[in-house]
Amino acid sequence: MNVSEYVFTLSSGQEVPVFIETKRGLRNMTLRPKTLPKLEIHISKPWTTSEKSALRFLESKQRWVESIFNSAPQKQALKPNDTIEFLGRTVLLVHDSAMRSNKYMNSDKTTLCIGGDINMFESRVREFIKTEFLASVKEIVHNAPHEFWPKHISLRDTTSRWGSCSSTGTISLSWRLAFAPYDVMRYVVCHEMAHRQHMDHSAEFWMTVSKLYGFGVERAKRWLARNGGELYKHF
Strands 83-86 and 103-104: unpaired
Tens digits of residue pLDDT in 68-80: 888 876 778 999 9
Same domain, 94 and 177: yes
Q: Give the per-residue pLDDT at 1.
A: 41
Query: Quick one: 88 and 24 in the same domain?
Result: no
Say if 77 falls within a structural domain: no
Q: Are residues 14 and 108 in the same domain?
A: no
CB contact at 8 A, 178 and 163: no
Q: Which residue from 164, 161, 174, 165 is spatially nearest to 134, judged by alpha carbons?
A: 174
Are 56 and 132 contained in the same domain? no
Quick one: average pLDDT of 200-218?
97
Q: Are 141 and 189 in contact (CB under 8 A)?
A: yes
**CB distance 65 to 58 below 8 Å:** yes
pLDDT at 226: 86
Residue 173 has pLDDT above 60, yes or no: yes
Together in a domain, 112 and 227 = yes
| pLDDT given at position 125 | 98
Do 108 and 210 fall within a single domain? yes
Q: For position 89, what pLDDT does the model report?
A: 95
Domain end marker among 70, 92, 119: 70
Domain tally, the chain: 2
Which residues, listed in sequence order, are joined to residue 172 by a DSSP beta bridge?
154, 164
Q: Per-residue DSSP letters for 160-181?
A: S-SEEE-TTSEEEEEGGGGGS-
Please indicate, yes or no, if residue 227 is contained in any of the structural domains.
yes
Buried b (16+ CB within 10 A) or exposed e, 76-97: eeeeeeeebebbeeebebebee
In a domain, 171, yes or no: yes
Listing DSSP states for 138-150 in one string gives HHHHHTS-GGG--
Residue finishing a domain among 70, 98, 119:
70
Query: What's the CATH code of the domain at 202?
Result: 3.30.2010.10
Averaged confidence pLDDT in the chain: 93
What pLDDT digit, counting tens, does each position of 46-61 carry?
Answer: 999 999 999 999 999 9
User: Are 8 and 108 in the same domain?
Assistant: no
The reply to whether 210 and 119 lie within a common domain is yes
Percent of the chain with pLDDT over 70: 97
Instruction: State the pTM of this model.
Output: 0.76
- Structural domain harbouring 200: 83-232
Q: What is the pLDDT of residue 225?
A: 86
Assess contact for 18 and 41: CB atoms under 8 A. yes
Q: Give the mean pLDDT of 109-129.
A: 97
Cβ atoms of residues 99 and 117 within 8 Å = no
Average the pLDDT over 134-151 and give the result. 98
DSSP letters, 9-36, are: E-TTS-EEEEEEEE-TT--S-EEEEE-S
pLDDT score at 2: 43
